[in-house]
Structure 1
Amino acid sequence: MGAEAPRGERPRADALIGSLQRKYEATVALEADFEQENELRSLGQTTRSKGKIWLRKPGRVRVEYIEPEKQLVVSDGSKLWVHTPKLNQVIESEVTSAPSTPFVFLAGKGDLRKSFDVKVEDFGLPPRQEGAWKAGQPHRLSLTPRQPQPGFKKMWLEVDPATFQITGVEYIDPLENRSRMRFSGIKEGGKIPDSLFQFQAPQGAEILRMPSPGAQSR
């Protein structure tokens, strides 16, 4: 992990965070391919998967895992569904003001500085035609939630220095498992139909409805 940028770099870090915030606010819709790596600490295992993700504000998310096994994650902004065909099972939960995954947060509307303690760990380099950094190097920022989140303890973003697109997300969950996702083929601003963010459980599937935080507290 990188360390926070030196004190002398604070103005540069503030400018970078401000640019990322403006990009975040301006991005209404996004779709991309992804590769994901999960380190399961309790099992001592690492799994890898591939798929496609769609985000549309406010709060709409669709993640299709294609390899090695199919799984679907869908949110319409109010509810979140996780469908695992292999188990013939659907997990349904409410989307609260505390996002259950980084993807729900990224599809929302918020102020990065208000929601997180944001630090720049590494300043990136734009791609060059020649030299060691021909492919470029992303900015890397750490985001620690100011309020406890049910799905992640800390998140890192990798950001393209030229476009401020988020090209990667990494996060640690409450069980200290670590997930890394890298995006490719990123498309912004296209029209994504409502139907992609709607979900109906397959006939015969087991449906597990998770209690809302409010229900648990009563």
Structure 2
Amino acid sequence: MTVRLVSRLLLALAATTMFLFAGPLAAERGPAPDARAALDRFVEGLETFTAEFTQTVRDETGYVLQESDGSMQLGMPNRLRWEVTEPFPQTIVSDGEDLWTYDPDLAQATVRPLGDAFDATPIAAITQPERLDEHFRMDVLPVRDASALRLLLIPRNEQADFTHLELDLTPDGDLTRMAFRDIFGQETEIHFEQSERNASVDEAAFTFDPPSGVDIYRP
């Protein structure tokens, strides 16, 4: 699996293998009321979410494989524009039906249908709030920052390609961090800054027109 940022976040849409993480803590306890309430506040009435992000990918030993920066625009349901600006430009666009991945350095674009596999991806945790309990078991993790709440989400779907997902929220429901570990042991940590809920987003952001000369692949 590539370590170039967003493929790790959303090409889980096409993955069909999963290690089912079955921690006794998550199985026996539910999330603390304050943490779950913060998540509910975040998703309640959510139509769009925009933010700048920094992402760090580490291997199973903790060694940093890649650091990258970019911006995201999320539209409900299942629409996304994720753009990496540094160090390797990359654009991922979902219009709710198809997922495009564009690598300008390679002059290549890949398009595939979202399909049901989207249900078991990290991004589904915030794009399908009405199905959170269906898709995930939830618990709370301690954090040093007293102003932060951290939820642990463990996918129920055996076809998910990540073992667990962490979401950091403020008590008033602002999403500040997302982190997950894939089935290969690599960890991806994303910090959101300058975030805004329900900002006006041009619908054109969720469409992709391949530039002239780009090779298009349809797996």
Query: Normalised by the shorter chain, which TM-score bucket?
Result: 0.7 to 0.9
- How big is the alpha-carbon RMSD for the aligned residues of Structure 1 and Structure 2? 2.6
Q: Residue 160 of structure 1 aligns to which amino acid in structure 2?
A: T
Deviation sequence 1:158-179 (CA, Å, 0-9, x none): 1112x21111100122322211
TM-score by length of 1: 0.78
1:66/1:105 Cα in 2 relative to 1: closer, same or farther (>3 Å)?
Answer: same
| Number of the residue aligned with 2:163 | 153
Aligned 8 A contact 2:149 2:169 in 1 = yes
| Number of the residue aligned with 1:53 | 72
1:151/1:208 Cα in 2 relative to 1: closer, same or farther (>3 Å)?
Answer: farther
Q: Where does the alignment leave 5 or more consecutive residues of structure 2 unmatched?
A: 1-23
1:101/1:71 Cα in 2 relative to 1: closer, same or farther (>3 Å)?
Answer: farther
Aligned 8 A contact 1:4 1:122 in 2 = no
| Number of the residue aligned with 1:140 | 150
Between the aligned partners of 1:32 and 1:171, the Cα distance in structure 2 is 18
1:87/1:41 Cα in 2 relative to 1: closer, same or farther (>3 Å)?
Answer: farther
State the percentage of identical aligned residues.
27
Q: CA deviation at 1:23?
A: 2.6
Q: Residue 140 of structure 2 aligns to which amino acid in structure 1?
A: V
| Number of the residue aligned with 1:195 | 204
> Is 2:173 the counterpart of 1:164?
yes
Q: Which has the higher contact order (CA 8 A, sep 6+)?
A: 2
1:33-48 aligned within 5 A: 33-41=52-60, 45-48=64-67
Q: CA deviation at 1:19?
A: 4.0
| Number of the residue aligned with 1:117 | 137
TM-score by length of 2: 0.78
1:26-105 aligned within 5 A: 26-41=45-60, 45-99=64-118, 101-105=121-125
Structure 1's consecutive aligned runs of 4 or more residues displaced over 6 angstroms after TM superposition are none
Between the aligned partners of 1:194 and 1:91, the Cα distance in structure 2 is 21
How many correspondences in the alignment?
193
Higher mean Cα deviation, 67-76 or 19-28?
Answer: 19-28
1:151/1:78 Cα in 2 relative to 1: closer, same or farther (>3 Å)?
Answer: farther
